[in-house]
Structure 1
Amino acid sequence: MSKKVFGNVFSYAILIIIGVIMCYPLIWMFFASFKTNSEIFAGVRLLPQSFSFEAFRYGWRGVGGNTYSKFFTNSFLLVAPTTILTVITSALVAYGFARFEFRGKKILFTILLGTLMLPNAILIIPRYTIFRDLNVIDSYYPFYLMAAFACYPFFTYMLVQFIRGLPRDLDEAAYIDGCGSFGILVRILLPLLKPALFSAGLFQFLWTYNDYFNSLIYISSIKKYTVSLALRMTMDSEATTAWNSIMAMSCLVVLPVVILFFFCQKYFVEGIATTGLKG
């Protein structure tokens, strides 16, 4: 066996081992959802003695008279508009920074970069005060408003770097053909921005879908809870925690993220690989 073949086999073996180690908690969670509570703590055996869907049926009943179908619907109502608004506004702001010259541009962009370094804990109280004064607490509007005003600077910065890598000759050619600034963005740049937009959308979807802390701060009614809050509430709703039901619902909660990643991984990898490259 040549050194090259041996090196490839060794590399793939290491990657497979690391992959199994990283995926093992998810694999264990999946099989634990078919076990009884006592069987989960009885030993380290992976496979259950018998497969039962009782944990899924029991867990789906949810808490506070709200089933997990309600919580999944709430998550969709929160995540979908937030993701769409984030992609749109981040693209508009990034286009302005990347293609236009205006007074104070460097200062504003420096402030944008500075906000990337601020811990989220610093922003919680000012944001909560603003949204309380706007009377939008206990709703999804705080998330919508932050997305509508491009309050996620990471995505703006990522798209700025991507747009800067696109040649200005494309803009000039479109301008000669009669396109205005908005037409150049919609007809020329957005199709080329597709990988970066998919990456931004996927990141925002994952972050918003998995967000527990901000949802806990802004949402107080159980009927408006997302799946992340519902899982935590399920643990607190009974004296004895039904861990098999928690594992079953956790599997269902993770499923949309896994499906989305596998369907969009091409755009995700392409967007990350090309963002920041300059032509």
Structure 2
Amino acid sequence: MALKKTVKPLLYHAVVIVLSIIMIYPVLWLVMSSFKPSNTIFITAESLIPSPWVWENYVIGWQGMGGNTFGVFIKNSLVIVVLSTLGAVFSSALIAFGFARLQFFGKTFWFAMMMMLMMLPHDVVLIPQYIMFAKLEWLNSIKPIVVPNYFGVPFFIFLIIQFIRTIPQEMDEAATIDGCGKFRLFFRIILPLVTPALATAAIFSFYWRWEDLLGPVLYLNKPSLYTVSMALKMFLDNETVSNWGAMFAMSAVSLLPVLAVFFAFQKYIVEGISTSGLK
């Protein structure tokens, strides 16, 4: 019995360590490859340790292209990510509050429409959206990427609805008796209690917008407006030699904001999704 209690935890940790190494190896390979000469990265792909170490990849990569440093592309991505995240989280929370707490005509119909939109592939609406934004003369700006987020994101709406439903309605009734209107009830009572769900939505929104390539490619034409994902794609050239070293170097740099957000708010990911109840 004592041997079993000892062996079982050892096996568990051994399996977890092996799986962790398998999952983290591609990232480690990316970072190590960023220090290799560009023309030897795939020749020495089986060797993890660079020989020699090439630090110039980071210098060349940071110089950017089209007269813009890589810092400009990071700034553009941060602007889009922050504006999109704020709009997506706030609008989704407001819509979720309406579905979870208010009674209005056609509520079931509109909820069904929202669920259908959540299952609708994004590629289906690309052409209609592009035509609409072209008629609005929004092309070559961040508006087509940012503004739609201010009308709610179906997945976030559904997530926050489930969280709001765990809040006892007696709290709403008590606040209403004390004179709270609907908006004050939302801002003073509901919004503070659904902070974990809001944080989870914000984290997902950050990840999705940071890695988005299709939206910027469709709507942004000026190099000064390019995002990180577009800048990384520009290091690859089908007609000449691709600068893999600089691309891997800037890919490693682009991971830093993602890792920072994850380690700072990782507890909210589990807490926000787990909506089984409130203390």
Q: What TM-score do the two structures reach when normalised by structure 1? A: 0.95
User: Structure 1 runs of 4+ off > 4 angstroms?
Assistant: none
1:245 match: 246
> Matched residue of 1:76: which SS?
helix
**By how many angstroms is 1:51 displaced?**
2.8
RMSD: 1.4
Please say if residues 137 and 219 of structure 1, whose CA atoms lie closer than 8 Å, have aligned partners that are also in contact.
Answer: yes
Q: What TM-score do the two structures reach when normalised by structure 2? A: 0.95
Is 1:59 equivalent to 2:61 in the alignment?
Answer: yes
Please say if residues 79 and 208 of structure 1, whose CA atoms lie closer than 8 Å, have aligned partners that are also in contact.
Answer: yes
2:121 match: 119
Distance, in Å, in 2 between the alignment partners of 1:264 and 1:2 is 39
Range that drifts further, 64-73 or 34-43: 34-43
Distance, in Å, in 2 between the alignment partners of 1:186 and 1:133 is 36
**By how many angstroms is 1:133 displaced?**
1.1
Distance, in Å, in 1 between the alignment partners of 2:6 and 2:172 is 48
Query: What residue identity is the alignment partner of 1:57?
Result: V
Range that drifts further, 99-108 or 218-227: 218-227
1:42 match: 43
Q: Deviations over 1:189-217 (max 9, x none)?
A: 11111100000000001001101112211
Distance, in Å, in 2 between the alignment partners of 1:177 and 1:212 is 49
**By how many angstroms is 1:41 displaced?**
2.8
Please say if residues 213 and 230 of structure 2, whose CA atoms lie closer than 8 Å, have aligned partners that are also in contact.
Answer: yes
Matches within 5 A, 1:16-31: 16-31=17-32
Please say if residues 95 and 160 of structure 1, whose CA atoms lie closer than 8 Å, have aligned partners that are also in contact.
Answer: yes
How many correspondences in the alignment? Answer: 276
**By how many angstroms is 1:39 displaced?**
3.3
1:74 match: 76
Distance, in Å, in 1 between the alignment partners of 2:20 and 2:277 is 33
Query: What residue identity is the alignment partner of 2:54?
Result: S
**By how many angstroms is 1:137 displaced?**
1.1
Range that drifts further, 175-184 or 251-260: 175-184
Please say if residues 139 and 219 of structure 2, whose CA atoms lie closer than 8 Å, have aligned partners that are also in contact.
Answer: yes
Range that drifts further, 67-76 or 38-47: 38-47
Q: Deviations over 1:148-174 (max 9, x none)?
A: 111x21111111111111110111111
Distance, in Å, in 2 between the alignment partners of 1:199 and 1:159 is 10
1:143 match: 145
In structure 1, the gaps of 5 or more residues are none
Identity of aligned residues (%): 40
**By how many angstroms is 1:255 displaced?**
1.2
2:96 match: 94
**By how many angstroms is 1:260 displaced?**
0.7
